[in-house]
């Protein structure tokens, strides 16, 4: 699921798949650079970066979606936070003050209001992880979201509340044809990040229940170092993803499965994000 404010979807393989917690928080980050939503999306495509966010906002006010809202992004150095938070990276238009543009600020308020409305979140900020608006700096030695946004957190929450209370509806600014996430023959897909649940060393297979069963280890890449080492040796608990964009060849609706042409076997549709519509 993504906000109707989304202008572009550039799904990142860097995520933990389905959330294990309800969405109760919003975490605003800064890009520490003036990146477009496409540039930020390209960085999050790189599995070696082990980073992602649910959304990014460019200085032009456009919104990119990188990790589906239903999935946990890798943004705030905290599993606890990111399982509960929708995370948003915002471009800085000044690299010494870390300020953000007026267009980015307005869109940020609009996106936060949209998220809070849809998930029933009451915006609050008290400088601790207990409030609904949290910051990266609460969980790691980082200055993120930068002094400019940090100083304005109380104002941001105030502005989000005002927008939620006001009659101004969230505008639908979706441009172009976004993939609808209904997989059909010819759909282009990328896998979400998943965890290895079992390993069959003799047959070089790994098991994941989200994907729907056993998978040849050679088909996937290790995407993080949560088992201690990012070494392409998949252990139970390793994060993995199918590294390439793939094509749906057949669809079986009753079992929620799709046949992947490049792999030559079936996967559960729930482990895939549609990147381009099929027929
Ligand atoms: Zn951050």
Summarised one tens digit per residue, pLDDT across range 188-211 is 988 877 778 899 999 999 998 888
Distance between Cα 40 and ligand 1 center (Å): 13
Burial (0-12, 13-18, 19+ Cβ within 10 Å), 127: middle
Q: Kindly tell me the sign of the dihedral angle through the C-alpha atoms of 140, 143, 145, 151.
A: positive
Summarised one tens digit per residue, pLDDT across range 70-87 is 999 999 999 999 999 999
DSSP state of 20: S
- pLDDT tens by residue, the chain, 279 residues: 899 999 999 999 999 999 999 999 999 999 999 999 999 999 999 888 899 999 999 999 999 999 999 999 999 999 999 999 999 999 999 999 999 999 999 999 999 999 999 999 999 999 999 999 999 999 999 999 999 999 999 999 999 999 998 744 443 333 344 566 678 999 998 887 777 889 999 999 999 888 899 999 999 987 655 455 556 678 887 777 888 889 999 999 888 899 999 999 999 987 887 778 887
Distance between Cα 50 and ligand 1 center (Å): 13
Distance between Cα 120 and ligand 1 center (Å): 24
d(CA 185, CA 171): 32
Spatial CA neighbour of 246 closest among 276, 216, 222, 268 = 276
Distance between Cα 136 and ligand 1 center (Å): 5
d(CA 118, CA 142): 30
Position 180 scores a pLDDT of: 66
Distance between Cα 256 and ligand 1 center (Å): 35
Structure-token pair, residue 48: 């070696």
Distance between Cα 198 and ligand 1 center (Å): 33
Position 190 scores a pLDDT of: 83
Structural domains present in the chain: 8-165 (3.40.80.10), 188-276 (no CATH)
């Amino acid at each position: 699921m993504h906000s109707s404010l989304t202008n572009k979807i550039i799904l990142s393989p860097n995520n933990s798949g389905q959330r294990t917690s309800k969405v109760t928080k919003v975490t605003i980050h800064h890009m520490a650079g003036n990146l477009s939503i496409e540039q930020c999306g390209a960085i999050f495509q790189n599995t070696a970066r082990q980073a992602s966010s649910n959304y990014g906002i460019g200085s032009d006010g456009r919104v990119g979606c990188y990790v589906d809202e239903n999935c946990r992004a890798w943004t705030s150095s905290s599993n606890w936070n990111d399982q509960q938070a929708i995370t948003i990276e915002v471009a800085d238009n000044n690299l010494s003050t870390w300020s953000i543009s007026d267009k980015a600020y307005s869109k940020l308020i609009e996106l936060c209001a949209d998220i809070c409305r849809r998930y029933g979140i009451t915006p609050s900020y008290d400088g601790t992880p207990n409030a609904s608006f949290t910051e990266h700096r609460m969980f790691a030695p980082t200055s993120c979201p930068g002094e400019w946004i940090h100083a304005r957190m109380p104002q941001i929450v105030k502005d989000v509340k005002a927008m939620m209370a006001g009659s101004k509806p969230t505008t639908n600014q979706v441009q172009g044809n976004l993939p609808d996430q209904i997989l059909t023959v010819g759909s282009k897909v990328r896998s979400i990040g998943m965890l290895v649940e079992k390993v069959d060393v003799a047959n070089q297979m790994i098991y994941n229940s989200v994907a729907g069963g056993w998978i040849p280890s050679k088909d996937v890449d290790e995407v993080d170092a949560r088992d201690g080492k990012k070494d392409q040796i998949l252990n139970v608990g390793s994060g993995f993803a199918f590294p390439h964009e793939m094509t749906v060849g057949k669809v079986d609706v009753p079992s929620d499965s799709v046949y992947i042409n490049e792999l030559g076997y079936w996967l559960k549709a729930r482990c895939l994000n549609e990147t381009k519509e099929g027929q």
